[in-house]
């Protein structure tokens, strides 16, 4: 995330905190899909992700005073989304169930031949690759790539040393590449 | 062969989380380490091709957007009711510290006052004071027979000291100090 974007976020945040809802709406529009992508992939259930998205932005609204201006807004909102997800798993204890439900939850239907070369196919393969990751690896990967959350903050969120977070990220990248390669999608190699 | 620097430093480098000095050191390392150079190039390629936010994001529905916006914009973040939990904890903590401090202060001042008054009572009960009183009472006995008194202000109150003769010595001894209203007497 570039500095200009961060500045814009802070301006929008100031507008929001002063009571103008347009600031909130703009920030929501800007990041809703990323946060929702994180929640859908973490829970593998679109309905639950919808509830968690609502909870996340409501919690952001309630805890707006806690926002540290040294951080970027997206990292902060991802921190809240992450916490909501963890709380959800703690309460419902469905950690093992959600791994098998990917296709239904993301609304992926059978792929047509034309889709094979389109962005839709790539999206589908990437979804499968991300969902094939170990939960901890997927968490680090999504926080870093979708949320732009610094590794230091990821380590703090996951209550682990930064080297552990980095190790999980390395494995996540390795496994995603392997999955993509298995499905005929190659990067640089 | 894998290089450990990719995990410990390379990932921070591609995430732009290293300072300038560390970043330039890692760049130098990449010129001599084929593995790290390959990993950096691979990551940057993957980032452009697959790890873009557009591919990883999932679109929300219009109904969901409307629901979230109507819910979240119905409350203002700056209202007093929206005090953050951290501030609530701070306020509660401060109140507890204040209450504890006030309690401790009260206790110590009470203890100090109590010890002081106990010392004064002890001093009043010490052998020198009654003797002095007896002496002064003995001097006053001539003016008021039957009563030993040491006047304090002559109008309102006075210390009346009953003297009782002890059977063996025949000396008078103080039996106690009683505050008496002289006007009534």
Q: Which residues pair with B159 in a beta bridge?
A: B150, B179
Rounded Cα distance, A42 and A24, in Å: 24
Cβ-based neighbours of A152, under 8 Å, separated by 6 or more: A162, B17
Given a cut of 90, is residue A185 above it in pLDDT? no
Most confident range (mean pLDDT) of A65-74, A170-179, B121-130 is A170-179
- Partnered with residue B177 across adjacent β-strands are B161
The continuous run of DSSP H or E covering A11 comes out as helix A3-17
Residues of A in contact with B47 (CB under 8 A): 145
- CA of B58 vs chain A CAs: smallest distance (Å): 4
- Report pLDDT for A70: 79
CA-based nearest distance B49→chain A, Å:
8
* Percentage of residues of chain B with pLDDT beyond 70: 60
**Residue of higher predicted confidence among B176 and A5:** A5
Binning pLDDT at 50, 70 and 90, where does residue B25 land?
Answer: very high
Q: Do B78 and A19 touch (CB under 8 A)?
A: yes
What string of DSSP letters covers B97-116?
HHHHHHHHHHHHHHHHHHHH
Burial A50-83 (b: 16+ CB within 10 A, else e): bebbbbbbbbbbbbbeebeeeebbbbbbbbbbbe
Interface list for B 73-112 with A (CB within 8 A): 73, 75-78, 82-87
> Residue B80: is its pLDDT beyond 50?
no
Mean pLDDT on B157-165: 49
Mean pLDDT computed over A43-53: 91
Judge: B55–A145 Cβ closer than 8 Å, yes or no. Answer: no
User: By the 8 A CB rule, do A131 and A102 touch?
Assistant: yes
φ, ψ (nearest 5 deg) of residue B149: -135, 145
CB-nearest to A32 from B7, B60, B86 is B60
Of A132, A116, A34, the C-alpha closest to A80 is A34
- If you average pLDDT over residues A30-51, what whole number do you get? 91
DSSP element (H, E) containing B164: strand B157-165
**A104 has a pLDDT exceeding 80:** no
Tens digits of residue pLDDT in A114-162 = 554 556 777 888 888 888 899 999 999 999 998 889 999 999 999 999 9
pLDDT the model gives residue A1:
56
Among A69-73, A120-124, A172-176, name the most confident range: A172-176
pLDDT exceeds 50 at position B87: yes
pLDDT of residue B34: 92
Q: What's residue A50's pLDDT?
A: 93
Are B72 and A28 an interchain contact pair (Cβ–Cβ within 8 Å)? yes
Q: Could you tell me if B36 and B10 are in contact, meaning their C-beta atoms sit under 8 angstroms apart?
A: yes
Joined tokens for residue B34? 């084929």
Question: C-alpha angle A147/A180/A107, rounded to 5°?
Answer: 65
Nearest-CB residue to B41 (from A142, A180, A188) = A188
CB nearest to B11's CB, from A60, A64, A170: A170
Low-confidence winner among A50-54, B83-87, B109-113 (lowest mean pLDDT): B83-87
Which residues in chain B touch residue A175, judged by CB atoms under 8 angstroms apart? none
Complex ipTM above 0.95? no
Element (H, E) at B162: strand B157-165
pLDDT tens for B52-62 read 777 888 888 99
Whether residue A130 lies within 8 A of chain B, CB to CB, comes out as: yes
Nearest chain B residue to A148 by CA distance is B15
Residue B72 contacts A where some CB pair is shorter than 8 Å: yes
- Over 60: is that where the pLDDT of B175 sits? no
Say how many C-beta atoms besides its own lie within 10 A of residue B153's C-beta.
8
B148-151 and B172-181 as β-strands: parallel, antiparallel, unpaired?
unpaired
Question: For residue A18, what pLDDT band results from cuts at 50, 70 and 90?
Answer: confident
For residue B84, what pLDDT band results from cuts at 50, 70 and 90? Answer: low
């Amino acid at each position: 995330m570039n500095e200009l974007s961060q500045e814009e976020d802070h301006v929008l945040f100031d507008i929001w905190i002063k009571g103008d809802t347009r600031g909130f709406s703009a920030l929501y529009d800007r990041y809703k899909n990323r946060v929702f992508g994180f929640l859908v992939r973490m829970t593998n259930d679109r309905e639950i992700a919808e509830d968690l998205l609502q909870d996340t932005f409501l919690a952001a609204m309630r805890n707006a005073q806690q926002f540290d201006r040294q951080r970027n807004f997206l990292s902060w909102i991802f921190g809240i989304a992450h916490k909501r997800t963890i709380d959800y798993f703690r309460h419902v204890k469905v950690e093992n169930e959600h791994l098998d439900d990917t296709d239904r939850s993301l609304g992926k239907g059978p792929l047509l031949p034309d889709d094979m070369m389109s962005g839709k196919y790539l999206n589908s393969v990437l979804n499968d690759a991300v969902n094939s990751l170990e939960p901890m690896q997927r968490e680090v990967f999504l926080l870093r790539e979708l949320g732009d959350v610094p590794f230091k903050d990821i380590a703090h969120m996951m209550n682990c040393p930064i080297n552990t977070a980095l190790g999980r990220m390395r494995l996540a990248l390795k496994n995603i590449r392997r999955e993509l390669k298995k499905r005929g999608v190659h990067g640089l190699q | 062969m894998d290089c450990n620097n990719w995990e410990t430093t390379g990932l921070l480098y591609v995430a732009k989380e290293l300072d300038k000095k560390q970043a330039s050191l890692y760049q130098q390392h990449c010129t001599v380490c084929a593995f790290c150079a390959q990993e950096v190039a691979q990551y940057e390629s993957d980032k452009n091709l697959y790890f873009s936010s557009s591919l990883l994001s999932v679109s929300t529905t219009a109904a969901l957007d409307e629901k979230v916006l109507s819910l979240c914009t119905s409350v203002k973040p700056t209202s007093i009711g929206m005090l953050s939990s951290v501030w609530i904890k701070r306020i509660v903590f401060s109140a507890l510290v204040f209450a504890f401090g006030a309690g401790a202060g009260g206790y110590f001042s009470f203890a100090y006052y109590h010890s002081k008054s106990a010392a004064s009572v002890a001093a009043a009960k010490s052998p020198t004071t009654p003797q002095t009183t007896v002496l002064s009472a003995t001097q006053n006995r001539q003016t008021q027979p039957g009563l030993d008194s040491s006047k304090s202000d002559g109008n309102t109150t006075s210390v009346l000291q009953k003297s009782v003769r002890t059977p063996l010595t025949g000396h008078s001894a103080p039996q106690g100090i009683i505050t008496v209203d002289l006007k009534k007497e």
